[in-house]
């Protein structure tokens, strides 16, 4: 069984993380380990009609954001990687600077040090130079920056079609099969 850590931080766009958890819940070969930041809990209440408990119920295992002794804080706990969806600029900075003051940042740091896949979905615009430098630092350490930039070749009809395309791109990074969007098959130029 593949284990995947899913972090939700306090950025707008919590729907991306919720949708990722919903999709993964239906994939029997993936065990999800959720870290929900305090900021994510606030954003969840502001942007959705979901309760914190209902989102936690989507994960196989839930780890407290302040529990630095959790299994996912150690490199000896084997996981396929970690996705932070959405990734706030605060969490991005903590990860880029290895500031392990909470479990989300610590688990991301461990993911990088163990050379496992770390995917961050930053949800901020516009970006200033500090944001870009932190993204560069994470990329230089082996992380993947995956902004929720929609494509339109698959003909999205709803907001959830756009969300699904980004969630599908995250799943692609971990080689998890899905049918969330129609893949590009070529066209006439």
Known binding site for FMN: residues?
10-12, 37, 88-91, 123
Known binding site for dimethylallyl phosphate: residues?
153, 169
- 7 φ, ψ (degrees, to nearest 5): -105, 135
Contact criterion met (CB below 8 Å) for 141 and 168: no
CA distance 19 to 69: 28
CA distance 177 to 102: 31
Known binding site: residues?
10-12, 37, 88-91, 123, 153, 169
Task: Look at the alpha carbons of 73, 19, 161, 3 in this order and tell me if their dihedral is positive or negative.
Answer: positive
């Amino acid at each position: 069984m593949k284990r995947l850590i899913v972090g939700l931080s306090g950025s707008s766009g919590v729907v991306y993380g919720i949708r990722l958890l919903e999709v993964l819940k239906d994939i029997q070969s993936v065990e999800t380990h959720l870290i929900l930041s305090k900021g994510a809990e606030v954003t969840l209440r502001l942007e959705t009609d979901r309760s914190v408990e209902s989102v936690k119920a989507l994960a196989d295992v839930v780890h407290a954001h302040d529990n630095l002794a959790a299994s996912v804080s150690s490199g000896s706990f084997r996981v396929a990687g970690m996705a932070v969806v959405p990734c706030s600029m605060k969490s991005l900075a903590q990860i880029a600077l290895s500031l392990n003051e909470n479990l989300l940042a610590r688990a991301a740091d461990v993911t990088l040090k163990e050379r496992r896949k770390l995917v961050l979905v930053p949800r901020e615009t516009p970006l200033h130079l500090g944001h870009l430098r932190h993204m560069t630092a994470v990329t230089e350490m082996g992380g993947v920056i995956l902004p929720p930039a929609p494509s339109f070749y698959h003909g999205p009809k709803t907001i959830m079609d756009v969300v699904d395309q980004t969630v599908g791109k995250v799943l692609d990074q971990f080689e998890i099969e899905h049918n969330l969007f129609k893949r590009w098959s070529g066209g006439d130029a």
